[in-house]
Amino acid sequence: MRLDDRTAVVTGGASGIGAATCRVLAARGADVVVADLDEGRGAELVDEIERERDGAASFVETDVSDEDAVAAMIEHAETAFDRVDVLVNNAAVASREADGPITDFADDAYEFLTGVNLRGPMYACKHAIPAMRDTGDGTGVVVNNASIAALVAEPEMDIYTATKGALVSLTRSIAVEYAPEIRANTVCPGVVETPMLEAAMESGDAGEDSDAPDTLERMIAETPLGMADPADVAHVVAFLASSDAAAITGATIPVDGGYTAR
């Protein structure tokens, strides 16, 4: 399960599940590129990884909805660490305020949410897969972070839900198109304690009339194993990134504490 001599690019790597993923991958020996909008938190994480983990780390400021920035992110990885082996498409945005039921559909919310959650992973695969093939090893890995929203209804977040469902479908296509050189899998987290979740639980962010806190409380109560820690998801991502998962591709793996088993 070691990842020595592997380079991983993690989008949205400065916070929550992405930061936990960077920590776990680096603990197993991978060199990690932390790609995020948030330079302050990204730089702090790089310092921490360099001090405490086996692998090296480097930050690159990236807006995944901008193709030029994504191309520069992959070039940064190749310059810093000579290669790209693993891409973790983790960056995403959720907004109960901008999003909503389909009868409230708005173009600007669609552009924002699909730009980050779907075009971002598409751009990243477009630029990372050729870089993985350039290594000549035939062992590239894509791990896409979707959500249980791709598997079961999450009412009143219809754009977010659609982007996550599309990510699952995209992953299957990539798995078939680029086998055997590239494996591609999706993880679907349930309720995970991260800044994204905390923001959604604050009624100010979700709007005064929002039922978001109630919804989240209900989801936590209906999760047999309770709320997950970001590291719980990161360990599954690290497994998928490793040769222990050599026979797994095109899979959709809930990491949801049993939420979708009910």
Q: Which of 18, 100, 121, 254 binds ligand NAD (CB under 6 A)?
A: 18
> Which C-beta is closer to ligand NAD: that of 17 or that of 238?
17
Q: Which of 8, 17, 33, 142 binds ligand NAD (CB under 6 A)?
A: 17
Q: What is the nearest approach in angstroms of ligand NAD to the Cβ of residue 181?
A: 25
Question: Does 143 participate in binding ligand NAD (rule CB under 6 A)?
Answer: no
> Which C-beta is closer to ligand NAD: that of 5 or that of 193?
193
CA distances from 8 to 108, 123, 211, 245 (A): 32, 16, 38, 16
Q: What is the nearest approach in angstroms of ligand NAD to the Cβ of residue 240?
A: 15
- Out of 123, 160, 178, 259, which one is annotated catalytic? 160
Residue 86's DSSP bridge partners are 8, 141
Site string for ligand NAD, 25-64 (x = CB under 6 A): -----------xxx-----------------------xxx
46 Cα distance to chain centroid: 18
Q: Which of 155, 195, 224, 258 binds ligand NAD (CB under 6 A)?
A: 195
Is residue 160 part of the annotated active site? The answer reads yes
Site string for ligand NAD, 235-254 (x = CB under 6 A): --------------------
* Distance from C-alpha of 200 to C-alpha of 194, rounded to nearest angstrom: 10
Residue 141's DSSP bridge partners are 86, 183
Q: Residue 141 in contact with residue 182, Cβ under 8 Å?
A: yes
For the chain, state the CA radius of gyration.
Answer: 17
Q: Residue 21 in contact with residue 144, Cβ under 8 Å?
A: no
Give Dmax (Cα) for the chain: 54
Question: Please, what sign has the CA dihedral across residues 194, 196, 198, 200?
Answer: negative
Question: Does 99 participate in binding ligand NAD (rule CB under 6 A)?
Answer: no
Q: Which residues bind ligand NAD (CB under 6 A)?
A: 11-12, 14-18, 36-38, 62-65, 90-94, 116, 145, 147, 189, 191-192, 194-197
